[in-house]
Amino acid sequence: MVIFLTILVFTVFVPGTVAGYPPWSVVRNAAVVVTPWVYPAGLCFAVGAAIYLRCACDFGVAGRGTSAPIDAPKHLVVRGLYQYIRNPMYVGVPTVLAGWTMLYRNETLLYYSAAVFIAFYLFVVFYEELQLQQQFGDDFSAYRSNVGRWTPRYKGNVRS
């Protein structure tokens, strides 16, 4: 139960401060104009949130941790969406940002979304993957060779 409370708190403070408050602060006084963009925007919100929540639960159950660096999973998580791509959380959050951008058709949100994805990319490539390699060794090497970083590239069974 404690792990799920930790996940909830982390979700509010980290993804919420990236994909929630900043976009809202940009568009808080703007009106939503009902256009055909409302439907794909809603789909992006739903899919992005579902991706994040599924991954957060997998981190708690299989990894015995959270996505917070101070409480990182103790076990390499290779189930759920992680069996298809290595960084589904980092795909889910920009998907929510795409929803904001489509819903409000706002140029500032477009640039913000791009900056967030670039920051995620740099963090994953220059920090997180190095840490995972150090922490999980051969298991992470096998996982990395079988599963794509951002897009599906599954080649075989992954050890857990």
DSSP letter at 40?
A: H
The residues spanned by each domain of the chain are 2-68+76-146
**Residue listed under structure tokens 């992005």:** 48
Q: What is the mean pLDDT of the chain?
A: 89
In this prediction, residue 154 has a pLDDT band, given cuts at 50, 70 and 90, of low
Cα separation of 45 and 103, whole Å? Answer: 10
How many CB atoms sit inside 10 A of residue 38's CB?
A: 14
The reported pLDDT for the residue numbered 69 is 72
Lowest mean pLDDT among 45-49, 108-112, 141-145, 153-157: 153-157
Token pair recorded at residue 38? 């409302």
pLDDT (average), residues 107-114: 96
Segment 54-58 long-range contacts (CB within 8 Å, at least 24 positions apart): 54/80, 54/81, 54/88, 55/80, 55/81, 55/82, 55/88, 55/89, 55/92, 56/7, 56/10, 56/11, 56/89, 57/7, 58/82
92-107 per-position pLDDT tens digit: 999 999 999 999 999 9
Q: Containing H/E element for 31?
A: none
Q: Which residue has the higher pLDDT, 14 or 136?
A: 136
pLDDT (average), residues 5-11: 76
pLDDT (average), residues 36-51: 95
Q: How many residues are present in the chain?
A: 160
pLDDT (average), residues 9-26: 85
